Chain A
Amino acid sequence: MRDLGKTKGLLTATALGVSAAAMAATGADAQQTTLNIGMASADAGKLDPHIATTTPDKGLLHWMFNGLVRIKPGEASPAFIEPDIAISWTTSDDGLTWVFTLRDDVECHGDYGNLDAEDVVFSLNRSADPDASSFSGDYAAFESIEATGPYEVTITLSNSIPSLLGTLVPYHGGNIVCRDAVEALGMDYERTPIGTGPFMFDEYQPQQYVKLVANPEYFRGEPAIKEIYYRYIPSDASRDLAFQTGEIDMIYGRQDQTWVERIRELPGTTVAIMSPGEMSMISLNKTIPPLDDLRVRQAVAHAIDRETMVAFKGADVTLPAISVVPEGYLGYTDDVPTYEFSIEKAKALLAEAGYPDGVTLNAIHTSLPGMLSTMEAVQSLLRDADINLEIQVVEHATFHEQIRQDLSQVTHYSAARFPVADTYLTQFFHSDSIPLKPNAVTNFSHCDVADEEISAARTEPDPAKQLELWATAQQKIGEEVCAVPIYQNLQLWAWKDTLDLGFEVNGSLNLSPAITETSKFTE
């Protein structure tokens, strides 16, 4: 008790100090217009929106670019798609020809002039070019992209795709770049991104920050926030302390229950728990014994207690995963085979499969602490069912290379994708995506039971039938136990109450909260 009293006293004193510092800061710059953000990263990567894939880089580019359409700020689901650079669009009956009418008042940052149909055509062609873009695969069905008027773009598809509008939101390749800027800057473009969004690139200081300034020409109006300092602070402890002292106004959180609880305690703090979550999934390579036996895979599924896993990672920051497609994705269904937690069933299945003394499985795993703790918890759950999981821990880049060489029997992967069932199903469960194949992505389980449904759904014009195909695919994959979904880890951010973003924040596709022309400090 005495120790607790001391700790409390220290915390109170700290809180008083923090409040005093915060008050001093507020007094010093009334009506704050500079936003300081702390990001968990050592430095900026490539700042080209058609190449950048990391959370820190995507989060920053989010505030600098527009798409033909966008997801309403504060949301992450494609159900909230609304006009952005395009005012309106029409589509042919077969869904293969799309005509977009553009706004005529969109200006590129700097002196790169008005954005017209030619820029949009250039930008989308660039996204489809494997030599210039990480996301060219998303545009494989784009037969032609043409400027059919100064402010009109016509896209023709070779076959219908699950979400054409989804490929046009400013997320991956849908970020619209200005042609003149890309051509004039050449290789420098990836260091000085030029877009049309509310904030413009201004300065980069290695390992310190990227500074953005308000775009006075922004077509929705000049932002109230005039400067954003996006600071790279890799140490979790230092980032939190800098937020406490008021040196930064908004921070990227740790995906951890204790972080949420601690930061919520700070006076004047808003904590946002945002979708889309990153889904943790354990893929079981069904070509390598003993996992080639369905009963062994079922035993693994029965031995993993999702409730324990959610409790372990924290109820506020995780959602249990039911299907192999994350909840909230278009096409998700919870009508899939589930394997209730039962050690007895797991052991019985193993015995039936001819392994009464249990089995040993191997996994190559990343040393990233957040993912490793999950795998270690799974390892201890499996041990109770006599499944010995041997984890070989390697550094993160090595992990990515080795699992793509098909070297891991059990693969734990954590990912978020564009929230349409097709992305997950294709990348993780279509046989074309099996490692070492020419179009390999991340099908570590060698799953091939739902190829037909996944392929058919991709080009199915009738939305109801498409949903049905996706549901069947999820059921088949569930029956085959290609993978065991564990949980979804939600995105965490915190900011000061004095920062009003201008909308309710439920999610963000780009993994950072939207900061728009309406965002402002209230004091």
Chain B
Amino acid sequence: MSGFVLKRMGFAVFTLIAVLTIVFFIVRILPGDPAMVILGDQASQQSIDLLRARLGLDRPMIVQYYDFMAGVFVGDWGVSMVSGRPVISEILKVLPATLELTIAALILGAALGIPLGVWAAISRNTVPDYIVRLASLLGLSFPAFVSAVLLLFAFAIYLPWFPVMSSGRGTTFGARMNDLALPAINLGLIMAAYITRVSRSAMLEVLGQDYVRTAKAKGISFSAIIWRHCLRNTMIPVVTVVGLYLGILIGNSVLTEIVFNRPGLGRLIVGALNQRDYTMLQGMMVIYTLLVVVVNLLTDLTYGLIDPRIKYS
């Protein structure tokens, strides 16, 4: 097992180098000059040139690339070209907020999605199945920013239960949960829609297996068949989707973060892109890549927990 983890970590390093190389060159191919963005539209060419030199952008690209790569591996990710603050501290300040939102959405999504998917499967082609399928389709197709504004209107204005600005206020656990509620519901519902669909189809497949028929023949109660015999076997595809989607969720949280005014990686990356903050963009990519690699590794390890037949070599 530890050998498996080590091997995967080795691959992760190569993935990281590849991603960073691509990102380094892509951001520099984009039109738009960070010095011009920082200094504004009245700055003289002389000021712009001086700032470019100070930011090191006048050096050959290969030299910039070497410095950047050397920095990344000793933990020096540079400072934001726009704010002048260290990239790593900027990211670490908002990372907990993104993780908090993502994990809350994931828990909510699983808590809603798995039972609904199972219910739809066992009620196949009846009214509950149609309702669940329709609801999950809506969840997949509804834009996150629209549902966010609707949630705000319903639960922050019409029923003033939650704050419009869900950040920066909560110091106690209760207040934090209150802040987190609406954004987590917004993202959680989308997550639930995915999980429902996967759980339903996985459960349908398992229900047709021989061992289920055997269990039925042995006279085991229906609920025991579902929860003890079938559910665990449906979990592999569900975990795969959750693992894949978690990476996407971290990226997709941007609209939710903007509408609910939460700090987070999504807002940070959009701001960095708009301002051509190369160093910040590069730092964000390191974090995203690491997150995706770690989530994938955790997903693989979870398979072994769910299905003891799986061996790591």
Contact = CB atoms under 8 A, between A and B. Distances in A.
A191 interface: yes
A439 interface: yes
B157 A44 contact: no
Interface residues of A, number: 59
Interface in B37-71: 37-47, 50, 54
B84 interface: yes
A137 B258 CA distance: 37
A238 B267 CA distance: 15
A207 B83 contact: no
A370 interface: no
A171 B160 CA distance: 40
B259 interface: yes
Interface in A17-31: 17-18, 20-21
A100 to B, nearest CB: 25
Interface string A209-253: 100000000000000000000010111011001101101100000
Interface stretch (A45-53, A107-115, A284-292, A509-517): A45-53
Contacts of B274: 42, 395-397
A163 interface: no
Nearest to B271: A42
A95 to B, nearest CB: 24
Given A17-B160, A245-B157, A208 B168 contact: yes
Contact of B271 (A43, A247, A402): A43
Interface residues of B, number: 51
B164 A247 contact: yes
B85 interface: yes
Given A43-B271, A191-B85, A207-B264, A134 B164 contact: no
Contacts of A43: 83, 267-268, 271
Interface in B261-307: 261, 263-264, 267-268, 270-271, 274-276
B167 interface: yes
A134 B51 CA distance: 10
Interface in B97-147: none
B260 interface: yes
Nearest to A189: B84
Given A46-B82, A206-B93, A247-B164, A241 B152 contact: yes
B168 A209 contact: yes
A133 B44 CA distance: 10
A137 B46 CA distance: 10
B177 interface: no
Contact of A205 (B149, B260, B263): B263
Contacts of B31: 394, 397-398, 401-402
Nearest to B168: A208
A238 B263 contact: no
B37 A238 contact: no
A5 interface: no
Contacts of A464: none
Contacts of B264: 207
B261 A242 contact: yes
Given A130-B46, A208-B263, A398-B31, A238 B164 contact: yes
B158 interface: yes
Contacts of B18: none
A504 B263 CA distance: 35
Interface in A402-459: 402, 404, 415, 417, 427, 438-442
B276 A397 contact: yes
A4 interface: no
A54 interface: yes
A42 B280 CA distance: 15
Contacts of A10: 158
A101 interface: no
Nearest to B276: A397
A54 B37 CA distance: 10
A383 interface: no
A237 B259 contact: yes
B215 interface: no
A398 B32 contact: yes
A53 B40 contact: yes
Nearest to A13: B158
Contacts of A237: 149, 152, 259
B244 interface: no
A45 to B, nearest CB: 6
A207 B163 contact: no
A398 B34 CA distance: 10
Contacts of B312: none
A42 B270 contact: yes
A247 B158 contact: no
Contacts of B268: 43, 206-207
Contacts of B85: 191
B260 A238 contact: yes
B263 A400 contact: no
B267 A400 contact: no
A238 B41 contact: no
A342 B282 CA distance: 53
B181 interface: no
B36 interface: yes
Contacts of A13: 158
Interface string B154-180: 001111100111011000000000000
B160 A135 contact: no
A385 to B, nearest CB: 30
A156 interface: no
A6 to B, nearest CB: 13
A131 interface: yes
Contacts of B42: 53, 134-135, 137, 417, 427, 441
Contacts of B153: 241
Contacts of A442: 41
Given A206-B94, A441-B42, A241 B157 contact: yes
A136 B44 contact: yes
A421 to B, nearest CB: 16
B30 interface: yes
A162 to B, nearest CB: 15
Contact of B84 (A134, A191, A233, A395): A191
Contact of B261 (A14, A17, A233): A233
Contacts of B275: 45, 397
Contacts of A1: none
Contacts of B50: 130-131
B33 interface: yes
14 contacts: A14-B157, A17-B160, A42-B258, A53-B39, A53-B43, A131-B54, A206-B94, A238-B152, A247-B164, A247-B165, A398-B31, A400-B32, A402-B31, A417-B42
Interface of A: 10, 13-14, 17-18, 20-21, 42-46, 51, 53-54, 130-131, 133-137, 187, 190-191, 205-209, 231, 233-235, 237-238, 241-242, 244-245, 247-248, 394-398, 400-402, 404, 415, 417, 427, 438-442
Given A137-B44, A235-B259, A245-B157, 15 more contacts: A21-B160, A43-B271, A53-B40, A130-B50, A131-B47, A237-B152, A241-B156, A241-B157, A242-B164, A244-B157, A245-B156, A245-B160, A245-B163, A427-B42, A440-B45
